[in-house]
Structure 1
Amino acid sequence: MTAFYTLIAEERRLQRRGLWRAGGYAAVVAIASVVLLGLSGWFITAAAVAGLAGTIAAQGFNYMLPSAGIRLLAILRTAGRYGERLASHDAAFGALARIRPALFLGLARGPSDHALALTQGEATARIVQDVNVVEAQFVRLSAVPGMIVAVASGLVLCALGGWRPAVALALCVAGLLAFATLLARRLEAAGREVQRATGALKEAFAGLADAAAELRCYGVETQAMAAVDANSRRLAEAQRAQACAVGWFEFIQAVALGMAGLATLLLAAPSGAPIAALCALAAVMTIDGAGPVLRSLAQRSAVREATARLDDLLPDAVEQGDAIACIGDPSLDLRGTHLPAGTRAALVGASGTGKTTLVESLLGLRSVEPGTAFIDGRDVARIPLSTRRATFGWAPQDAALLAGTIRDTLALGDPLTDDAAMWAVLNDVALADVVGALSDGLDSWIGEHGVRLSGGERRRLALARAYLVPAPWLLLDEPTEGLDAATERRVAERLSARLARTGQGLVMVSHRPAMVALCDRQLAIAPELVATAALPIDAAGRAGWYGRE
């Protein structure tokens, strides 16, 4: 059983009471619907026969009791449908409240290569669109008990006209289900393509939306629109094919409904017109009661594709390690170079040599080969992600910010921090004056990806967030790239003072001399090296480029 099927099975177990209630209500709806229509057919026909028989027969016919029964059954059917929808949706929403966070957590905790392979649009399509399909199927779990009770009720009523009408109804139901199952297999591709095309459209749109400014600048909006239009047409074609598939299911149900009604009417005719009408209409409603199951079969291929895509978010292989805690101030070993606690080390080298990759591998954002790095003598490949990430406060090269306020962004570093600590780190990154000038201060909205801030302000806010992380080491990736010299100098001076005050260690990627000068060790990274070359600080000026010693 795959990871997502296990998750769904667990949610079905947790929601079993709600699902049982939904099934019970569905049974009430099925009985009430079949008996209601059968009784109505009998009542109308019997009343007509009594009327044709003359005044005395018409006056002797009991209209009140069947009328009361019909109204009672109508009330039960309405109440049952309301109860079924309430119970089934309550169970589905309760399950979804845990399924979506579990999917996101699985994506975050899974192998880093797997997570990086998913684009934002594709991940959104899976967590939203594919989960919606699974939700609809979850709601339809009451369809099977409803159909079973409908068939049982229809057979009982048809048996009033003899065994032949009952057998005819049973054969119609069996034939309908068999043909629908075969049809579902033949039309498997249509539903799957809808889910894939939806993901492709959202992926294309999200990628182009992020590059909207560049598209306008270079005048390629038309090409971008064509790419989105191609994916949109693919989705429309897939939806058209799926609609045709659903139409076939409705067609075979209509054929089965007509055959069942006509067959039971003819076979029950010897028992009298009222009984024949009862059997015919009961048979019709029995076939109608199989409708939810047919709709589930029509959506089966879409559900299977959605389940497969969601299961891909919960890989079986999750990065694990020995459950150890980071105690005290740990030392680091990076590619053979030992860095005692509190060391300030700069990762230097030409662009593209793997400095950022090394930093991200320490955090588990990329896969790491055994022996690449050690924390307190323990290979990071064997240390749990939670321990590795608790060891470092990280400021990434791209300064990714979530939509929200400045306070929201800083709280990611330490959710328990107070305003004083936030203002302190903002001052350490030379951003306190900027934030203080905003009308809402810490509660100022920075927009999606921090678009209301300049590039340098976004980078410094990400740096302040890293400062708030209660970790023994800072991992800073190009923390002052894009800053003017005066601002960079203030940031560097305050970083040096902060490190002296906190005793934290520093591993920094930088090409800026002012930042490299803060470090007492330089680790030169070259693409062909298995290990780095540790250069003393006074050797930096003599190294023309970073390579083998």
Structure 2
Amino acid sequence: MKPHAHIRDLVLEQRRVQRDRLRLAAAAGALVSIAAVGLLGLSGWFLTGAALAGAAGAAAAQAFNYMMPSAIIRLLAILRTGARYIERVAGHEAALKALARLRPQLFDALAAGPVRQTLTLSSGELSARLVQDIDAIQTVFIRRSATWSLGAGLATAAVLATIASPLAGAALVAGVAVTGVGGLILARAVSAPAGRAAQTAVGALKSRLSALEAASPELKAYGLDDWAVQEVAGAAAASDRAQIALARAGGWMAAWQAAATALTLTGVVLAARGAEQPMIALAALAAVMGIESAAGLTGALHLNGRAEEALDRLDAALPAASIQHGRTPDGADLVLNTLDQRLTPPARIGLYGPSGAGKTSLIERLCGLRDALPDQAALGGVDLAEIAPDLRRPLFAYAAQDVRLLDDSWRRNLLLAGPADEAALWAALEDAQLADRVRAEPQGLDAPVGPNGERLSGGERRRLGLARAFLRNAPWMVLDEPTEGLDAETEARVLAALDRRLADGGQGLILVSHRPAPMRLCPLQVRVEGLEPDGRVRMTPDRLSSVA
């Protein structure tokens, strides 16, 4: 998917993919309306006629044919039930399959887009976009059958009402038109603003809750639990008010539907007053179901504001423009201009220096997680600033200092690095000294790690990030404080496995650490002094050797 794709374009694409299911849902919805209108109208005619025949005496009752109408009524009831089942299954299956494809498409677009734009979204806000907003647009798929249901129901009801009286048919069509126009006006004036506000409020609540949850240890340490609860309660109250407003708007829509039904029914009965009583009953009940056919469309209009807000929010999250791919690096050799030395895998370089000096910023620029600065580094003979981030990232296997984990299993968190078989997963865990920990879990690799790995210790989270980097086949391995928080024995085993893995795979190493043991893996060590005013990093070689 192109990073600049419009969310509505993606929805249209999924409509084309799910075209057969949506057509089946529309056809079934039309059949539901036809059967429902016919069922109620014929039932009204049949019951009224049977009552009149019974009142006329035994001879009239014996002459009344009740077999054929009752058989047709049973047939229509069966058709309505079966068609309703098909409509719901086909429509919801199309929506769920489309949403299942839209989520990874949106995630891919965010991951491939400009880093500066993507990092402006908090984890809670991003989760709200990928979950609540995507869920909200399912009505865009489900409501596709509503217009067909309305059209089929109106046509059937109009035919039956016209049998009683042409004026009754005209009154029904006019009543349904007024109902539709009024519903559209109410939806735009009341439901749409309420739906947009409700969707925004839910996103704000989730974003606030996620941010406070991530900071829960600090909040407890500083005694800010009550403040955090008040913050969440305030966001929840705002969300509740928005939901109440949306429900109130739904009430107005329902009240309008009821009033329009009453007025239309009155008009149809008055227009058909010259017909026989069974035909009046036929026209009246057909009119009720004809207007009821518009209920699906009314419901879709009620949720339209929420869906439109979700689409706008998803559009805002998508990258505004496509990535300019610039030049392609010719190989993986690296030159840090301050050092004026070409490094080629399996070279190893260690970066150290005071906190805040720019070590992490430097490696994030190399990996394409920050905008690169001109004349600071070259990759494959090309200035780093001339290489698009999506062309740099495949050259690096990165284990960040701040490890981010999915609220999922060990397996799924490892497979973020890319496809890998069971043996590769266990080998990575062995080298990260986590295999015994995972084997102790009853579910093994499928055991959950909790939200952002809350079931793991800090050292386990860091080693899980390291194991994930082990699984990525890239020329350079980039590790930011990989053994921080580990005891000396575990650190020694992890570093021995890392040394062996680098040697076996021929990978280069770019290491950031302030600990002596990891730095001993690197023949070339560089002190990062700090940041220049223009954002460049000052570096001083500490020890050089033949590393090319």
Superposed pair shares fold, TM > 0.5: yes
Match of 1:506 in 2: 509
Query: Which residue type is aligned with residue 268 of structure 2?
Result: T
SS at match of 2:530: coil
Match 1:168 to one of 150, 171, 175: 171
User: Distance between the aligned counterparts of 1:335 and 1:192, measured in 2?
Assistant: 52
Report if aligned partners of 2:329, 2:382 keep a CA contact under 8 Å in 1. Answer: no
User: Distance between the aligned counterparts of 1:198 and 1:436, measured in 2?
Assistant: 36
Match of 2:88 in 1: 85
Match of 1:209 in 2: 213
Tell whether 2:84 aligns with 1:75: no
Q: Counterparts in 2 of 1:56-455, with a 5 A limit? A: 56-187=59-190, 188-321=192-325, 324=328, 327=331, 329-333=332-336, 337-342=340-345, 343-402=347-406, 412-413=416-417, 415-416=419-420, 419=423, 423=427, 426-427=430-431, 431=433, 443=445, 445=447, 447-448=449-450, 449-455=452-458
User: Distance between the aligned counterparts of 1:504 and 1:349, measured in 2?
Assistant: 24
Report if aligned partners of 2:42, 2:73 keep a CA contact under 8 Å in 1. Answer: yes
Please say which of residues 233-242 and 131-140 is displaced more in the overlay.
Answer: 131-140
Query: Which residue type is aligned with residue 175 of structure 2?
Result: C
Q: After superposition, what is the alpha-carbon deviation per residue over 1:44-70, rounded to whole angstroms, capped at 9, x for unaligned?
A: 222233333333333322222222222
User: Distance between the aligned counterparts of 1:424 and 1:38, measured in 2?
Assistant: 69
Q: Counterparts in 2 of 1:449-528, with a 5 A limit? A: 449-483=452-486, 503-513=506-516, 515-516=518-519, 518-522=522-526, 524-528=528-532
Report if aligned partners of 1:320, 1:385 keep a CA contact under 8 Å in 2. Answer: no
Deviation at 1:185, TM superposition (A): 1.4
Deviation at 1:139, TM superposition (A): 1.6
User: Distance between the aligned counterparts of 2:102 and 2:435, measured in 1?
Assistant: 43
User: Distance between the aligned counterparts of 1:208 and 1:27, measured in 2?
Assistant: 49
Query: Which residue type is aligned with residue 12 of structure 1?
Result: R
Q: After superposition, what is the alpha-carbon deviation per residue over 1:359-380, rounded to whole angstroms, capped at 9, x for unaligned?
A: 1222222333455432112244
Report if aligned partners of 1:349, 1:524 keep a CA contact under 8 Å in 2. Answer: yes
Using a 3 Å threshold, how does the CA distance of structure 1 residues 404 and 238 change in structure 2: closer, same or farther?
closer
Using a 3 Å threshold, how does the CA distance of structure 1 residues 8 and 381 change in structure 2: closer, same or farther?
farther
User: Distance between the aligned counterparts of 1:405 and 1:166, measured in 2?
Assistant: 61
Please say which of residues 275-284 and 453-462 is displaced more in the overlay.
Answer: 453-462
Using a 3 Å threshold, how does the CA distance of structure 1 residues 265 and 85 change in structure 2: closer, same or farther?
same
Count of aligned positions? 536
User: Distance between the aligned counterparts of 1:240 and 1:356, measured in 2?
Assistant: 47
SS at match of 2:510: strand
Match of 2:20 in 1: 17
User: Distance between the aligned counterparts of 2:47 and 2:408, measured in 1?
Assistant: 66
Match 2:53 to one of 50, 53, 56: 50
Q: Counterparts in 2 of 1:523-534, with a 5 A limit? A: 524-528=528-532, 530=534, 531-534=536-539
Q: After superposition, what is the alpha-carbon deviation per residue over 1:243-276, rounded to whole angstroms, capped at 9, x for unaligned?
A: 1101111111111111111111111111222222
Query: Which residue type is aligned with residue 449 of structure 2?
Result: G
SS at match of 2:317: coil
Provide TM-score, normalisation by structure 1: 0.87
User: Distance between the aligned counterparts of 1:406 and 1:19, measured in 2?
Assistant: 37
Using a 3 Å threshold, how does the CA distance of structure 1 residues 505 and 178 change in structure 2: closer, same or farther?
same
Query: Which residue type is aligned with residue 537 of structure 1?
Result: D
Q: After superposition, what is the alpha-carbon deviation per residue over 1:323-361, rounded to whole angstroms, capped at 9, x for unaligned?
A: 85764x523345784432144333344322332122122
Query: Which residue type is aligned with residue 540 of structure 2?
Result: L
User: Distance between the aligned counterparts of 2:329 and 2:400, measured in 1?
Assistant: 24
User: Distance between the aligned counterparts of 2:486 and 2:505, measured in 1?
Assistant: 25
User: Distance between the aligned counterparts of 1:246 and 1:437, measured in 2?
Assistant: 53
Please say which of residues 175-184 and 499-508 is displaced more in the overlay.
Answer: 499-508
Using a 3 Å threshold, how does the CA distance of structure 1 residues 399 and 12 change in structure 2: closer, same or farther?
closer
User: Distance between the aligned counterparts of 2:83 and 2:418, measured in 1?
Assistant: 50
Match 2:541 to one of 511, 536, 540: 536
For structure 2, list consecutive stretches of 5 or more residues without a partner in the other structure.
Answer: none
Q: After superposition, what is the alpha-carbon deviation per residue over 1:378-425, rounded to whole angstroms, capped at 9, x for unaligned?
A: 244444545422211212112334456666655555644674895588
SS at match of 2:137: helix
Q: After superposition, what is the alpha-carbon deviation per residue over 1:71-111, rounded to whole angstroms, capped at 9, x for unaligned?
A: 22112111111121122122222212311221222222222
Report if aligned partners of 1:330, 1:472 keep a CA contact under 8 Å in 2. Answer: no
Deviation at 1:223, TM superposition (A): 1.4
User: Distance between the aligned counterparts of 2:467 and 2:60, measured in 1?
Assistant: 93
Using a 3 Å threshold, how does the CA distance of structure 1 residues 2 and 49 change in structure 2: closer, same or farther?
farther
Please say which of residues 59-68 and 527-536 is displaced more in the overlay.
Answer: 527-536
Using a 3 Å threshold, how does the CA distance of structure 1 residues 232 and 335 change in structure 2: closer, same or farther?
farther
Report if aligned partners of 2:333, 2:342 keep a CA contact under 8 Å in 1. Answer: no
- Aligned sequence identity (%): 42
Provide TM-score, normalisation by structure 2: 0.87
